[in-house]
A and B are shown apart, each in its own frame.
Chain A
Amino acid sequence: MGACGVNDLLVLIMVMILGCACAKSNQNAVVSSGLPNGTTLPTMIGDNVLRLTVDGDQCLSSPSTAASSVVPPNAPCVSVTVCPPGTSSSSASQCQVIPGLLVDTGSVGLRVFKSVMNHSLLSQLVSVAAPAGGIVAECVGYADGSADWGPIAEATVFLGGEPGVNTQIQLIDSTYGTASVCGGNLDQDPSHLGYNGILGVGLFPQDCGTACESTNSTLNPGMYFSCSGTLSTATNCNTTPISLAASHQVQNVIAHLPVDPNTGTQDNNGVVLMLPSVSASGAPEVDGYLILGVATRSNNTPASNVVAYPPDPSTGNITAMLNGVVNEAFIDSGSSFYNFAAGSSTGNLADCGNYNSAYLRAGYYCPLNNANAVQSISLPISGYNGSQTSLISLLMGNPLDLIGVNGNFVFADIATGSSLSGMASNTVDLGLPFYLGRNVYHGYAFKSSSLGYGPYWAF
Chain B
Amino acid sequence: MDYILKNTFFFALTFSGLSLLVQVNAAHAYLGGGVDSIEVDRKTLRAEKSPTQVRARSQADALPYTVTEMVAAGVQVREYLSKTGVVFGIAWSGSHHANVSALLGEYRSEYEKAFASNVAQFGLHRGFRGRTVRSENIQIDLGGHFRNMSGRAYSPALLPAGVNVNDIK
Contact = CB atoms under 8 A, between A and B. Distances in A.
Interface of A: 67, 69-70, 72-75, 102, 104, 106-108, 141-146, 183-185, 187, 192-195, 198, 200, 202, 204, 207, 211, 217-223, 241, 315-317, 330, 332, 334-337, 339, 341, 343, 361-363, 416, 419-420, 422-425, 427, 429, 431
Interface core residue of A145, A185, A339 (most chain B CB under 10 Å): A145
A419 B150 CA distance: 13
B126 A419 contact: no
Given A70-B125, A108-B146, A220-B74, A184 B130 contact: no
A144 B129 contact: yes
Interface stretch (B30-38, B61-69, B79-87, B132-140): B132-140
A458 to B, nearest CB: 18
Given A223-B96, A361-B122, A420 B127 contact: no
Contact of A204 (B101, B147, B149): B147
B127 A337 contact: yes
A241 B108 CA distance: 21
B127 A193 contact: no
A423 B147 contact: no
Interface string B99-130: 11100000010001001101101111111111
Contacts of B145: 106-107, 143, 316, 330, 332, 429
Contacts of A198: 126
B165 to A, nearest CB: 6
Interface of B is mostly: mixed
B135 to A, nearest CB: 11
Nearest to B78: A424
Contact of A195 (B122, B126, B128): B126
A144 B126 contact: yes
Interface in B5-54: 46-48
- Residue in B72, B75, B125 with the greatest tally of chain A CB atoms within 10 Å: B125
Most A C-beta atoms less than 10 A away, residue of B74, B133, B140 = B74
A85 to B, nearest CB: 25
B56 interface: no
Contacts of A194: 123, 125-126
Contacts of B48: 218
Given A343-B166, A423-B141, 10 more contacts: A104-B126, A184-B112, A218-B46, A218-B47, A335-B129, A336-B128, A420-B142, A422-B165, A424-B93, A425-B93
Contact of A218 (B71, B112, B115, B125): B71
Contacts of B73: 217-222, 241
A192 B124 CA distance: 10
B94 to A, nearest CB: 8
A141 B126 contact: no
Contacts of A184: 101, 108, 112, 115
B169 A424 contact: yes
B91 A339 contact: no
A317 B130 contact: no
Given A184-B115, A207-B146, A316-B148, A193 B126 contact: yes
B96 A183 contact: no
A184 B124 CA distance: 18
A73 B126 contact: no
Contacts of A218: 46-48, 71-74
B151 to A, nearest CB: 8
A424 B92 CA distance: 9
23 contacts: A69-B123, A72-B127, A102-B126, A106-B146, A141-B96, A141-B97, A183-B100, A184-B101, A184-B115, A185-B112, A192-B125, A194-B123, A217-B73, A221-B74, A221-B95, A337-B127, A343-B166, A361-B121, A420-B130, A422-B166, A423-B130, A423-B143, A429-B129
Contacts of A145: 97, 100, 115, 131, 133, 140, 142, 151
A220 B130 CA distance: 23
A192 B125 CA distance: 9
Nearest to A343: B166
Contacts of B152: 423-424
Nearest to B108: A184
B143 A336 contact: no
